Amino acid sequence: MTIRFNVKKKMKVATATLLLCSVATGALAQDAIRVISHRQPALEFYTQQMVEALPEGRVTVELMPIDKQLELASITMSSESDAIDVLYLNDSSFRRFAANGWLEPIDDLWEKYRGEYDLDDFPKSVIDAVSYDGKIYAMPILTNTQLFFYRKDLLEEAGIEPPQTMEDYMAAASQLDSARMAGTIMSLKPVDAALNESHWYMNAIGDGWFDENWKPIFNNAAGVEAITKLKEMTENAPRGFTAHANDESTINLQQGLAAMGLQWFTRAAAMDNAEQSRVVGQIEWVAPPGGGARTANDGFAISAFSSADREEMFKMLAQAASKESMREGAQFAMPPRLSVLENTELAAQYRWYPAARAALESGKAFPAMPDFNDVGEIVTRHILRAVTGEAEVQEALDQAAAETEELLASRGYYN
């Protein structure tokens, strides 16, 4: 199913002005491949790899804050201009661009160059994250996944094995919970943090969020069980968990105020930061028990309106995302290639890499719909009503499902 969305006409009016400004800067060579991207260290590295993949002068790169980059891309592509050839997209903006028909599918090139660039080295969860409506639209560049953090010393002292199932996790959290230390962190601040935590439960215990026709299923019996277990787990969480997101949960782990829990890969290094952490060397990681925790992937896509050679652009992206490139880029962000995550030198330097590999294989991205963030605002509001006892779990999820279905119907998801 392909969903298309209207872009405000005033954005199209502004297109010519913006494009003229770009040309006036003299940044573009007449026949160069124009790449636009968010500016941050990892993306600076990978866009430089694109520049070096082709002869000098063939690639120009413009780096800017992400809001400006997405605004420029939206304006340019809604007018069907060929002024942009390749663009960076995060996992949420990617779906909107793909749904609007602004991106070039690359399945044929992926298959053609599968062997040359070892594209099977990307796990299925990563490929799924850069796919929409059954087609691949972007080259994966950065990946992030949620890991299960736990205090190895405390588990060993209590005779507890690292949790492999949600039942193991609940039992361990309950056993370790005390007045001095919470059994687990929980990040239930709306919207993103609460949606991430709920996503794990909905996949590990429930049946996921939607059926194949985008009808909500998170309020079925398995979904009710999932949120009931989440509610039970909050008994072992720190006070104020409904206002906790990544920062608060990271601090609780660093300061020894919680024994374990779900957290992002990018927070792993903070556990061994001697200037901030009281638990240096004591935290270990495994894939989240039960699987299904969130994976997020960013990449570079080819504009559907580009007049440049699409095969040349694909090879440029594939070279930037090669094993060799990603081994070097691992210093900036987690590479999505399994072979790089398995690299023994990286595993020795970054203790959490082996767990990240396992988490990527068992993880799941958010549903591939452009409107899932809007759905998340609805769902997390009602999940928190259930968790805090304002409503029964079934009642809260039924209300969330009804509001979600109404929203999606208004946006053309159902015939």
CATH fold, domain 146-294+368-410, is: D-Maltodextrin-Binding Protein; domain 2 (3.40.190)
Q: Pick the residue with more confidence: 115 or 357?
A: 115
Whether the pLDDT of residue 8 is over 70: the answer is: no
Does the pLDDT of residue 3 top 70, yes or no? no
- 14 pLDDT more than 50: no
What superfamily does domain 9-144+296-362 belong to in CATH? Periplasmic binding protein-like II (3.40.190.10)
Contact by Cβ (8 Å): 361, 378: no
| Mean of pLDDT values over 74-101 | 92
Pick from 140, 137, 143, 144: nearest CA to 299: 140
pLDDT, residue 23, reads 37
> What percentage of the chain has pLDDT greater than the value 70?
93
What is the pLDDT at residue 126? 87
What number is the average pLDDT over the span 50-58?
95
How much is the pLDDT for 30? 55
- The average pLDDT across 119-147 equals 91
Q: Phi, psi (5° rounding) for residue 328?
A: -75, -40
| Residue 117: partners with Cβ closer than 8 Å, 6 or more residues away | 318, 319, 321, 322
Reading phi first (left if > 0) and then psi (alpha if -120 to 50, else beta), residue 280 is in: beta
Q: Which residues contact 128 (CB under 8 A, 6 or more apart)?
A: 365, 368
What residues contact 281, with CB distance under 8 A and at least 6 apart?
A: 272
Is residue 37 within a helix (H) or strand (E), and if so which, with residue range?
strand 33-38
**Mind giving me the DSSP string for 223-286?**
HHHHHHHHHHHGGGSPTTGGG--HHHHHHHHHTTSBSEEEEEGGGTGGGG-TTT-S-TTTEEEE
CA distance 324 to 109: 21
Of 40-49, 120-129, 135-144, 169-178, highest mean pLDDT: 169-178
| Per-residue model confidence (pLDDT) at position 296 | 83
Structure-token pair, residue 383: 């999940």
**Per-residue pLDDT for 372 more than 50?**
yes
- Tell me the pLDDT of the chain averaged across its residues: 90
Confidence band (pLDDT; 50, 70, 90) for 149? Answer: very high
Q: Give the per-residue pLDDT at 330.
A: 87
Residue 261 has pLDDT above 60, yes or no: yes
pLDDT value at 12 more than 70: no
Q: Compute the distance between CA of residue 109 and CA of residue 102 in angstroms, rounded to an integer.
A: 18
Residues 217-231 pLDDT 10s: 999 999 999 999 999
pLDDT score for 24: 35
* Whether pLDDT at 17 is above 50: no
Which residue ranges does the chain devote to CATH 3.40.190.10?
9-144+296-362, 146-294+368-410
Torsion angle, alpha carbons of 379, 385, 388, 389, to 10: -130
Question: Residue 121 gets which letter from DSSP?
Answer: G
